[in-house]
Amino acid sequence: MKLLEAMQQRRAVRSYRPDPIEHAVLQELVEIASAAPSYMNLQPWSFGICADPAQVSRFDDQARQFLLNDWSVNAPFLAQREELSRPEQRLFHNAPALIVVYAVQTEVDAECACAMAAYGLMLAAHSMGLASCWVSQARPWLDSVEGHTAMGVPSSFRVIAPLVIGAPLAMPLSPGRFKPPTRWV
């Protein structure tokens, strides 16, 4: 698949086949992600991978409950409170795999480099016939003591991109884009 096609056709997918994704495929995805550029080539990222669909589902329960428990901490997501309160609501969209991109340094623009790595991973997944969704709603839990412990990462790691990965059940239509605001000078 051509890069331009992947950039235009990739979608945030919210329904997945339950089939697990092979470890080798997830490993390949993080290696492609690490081809992203970074300030002084510091490569300020680390990847937490969960390939067990049942475990991803348990993480989903914990992340959702964490949000619902304390809206003072999770205020950015308050607008989705009613939706998230529904028991059938799944943060990870029943995806079989989760890859979390962490910033492991506080060097210049580490979070920008990690976001680039995440986007590269999403495009690579799409070009392999897989799909992804960046799920910021899971960040509060993943960045908590409980989340760090569950993912087995040090407390100094900062969550940049929680990405769910899987084979898509259906590809949504593009929600469209505004014409990019542009100023020519």
> Which residues make up the interface to ligand FMN (CB under 6 A)?
11-12, 14, 133-137, 174-175
Q: Which is nearer to ligand FMN, 55 or 94 (CB)?
A: 94
Smallest gap from Cβ 164 to ligand FMN, in A, equals 9
Give me the numbers of helices (H) and strands (E) for the chain, helices first please.
Answer: 7, 4
Nearest to 136 by CA among 171, 91, 69: 91
CB of residue 24 vs ligand FMN: minimum separation in angstroms?
26
Structure tokens of 77? Answer: 């997501």
CB of residue 26 vs ligand FMN: minimum separation in angstroms? 20
Least CB distance to ligand FMN at residue 84 (A): 10
Residue number with CB closer to ligand FMN (41 or 88): 88
Rounded to a whole number of angstroms, the minimum distance from the CB of residue 137 to ligand FMN is 4
Look at residue 56 and give its three-state secondary structure: helix
Comparing CB distances to ligand FMN, the nearer of 14 and 154 is 14
Around Cβ 40, how many Cβ atoms within 10 Å? 9
Task: For residues 34 and 120, give the distance between their C-alpha atoms in angstroms, rounded to a whole number.
Answer: 8
Closer residue to ligand FMN (CB): 12 or 169 = 12
Q: What angle do CA 141, 13, 150 make, to 5 degrees?
A: 25
Query: Are 121 and 29 contacting, i.e. CB atoms less than 8 angstroms apart?
Result: yes
Indicate the residue among 134 and 157 with the shorter CB distance to ligand FMN. 134
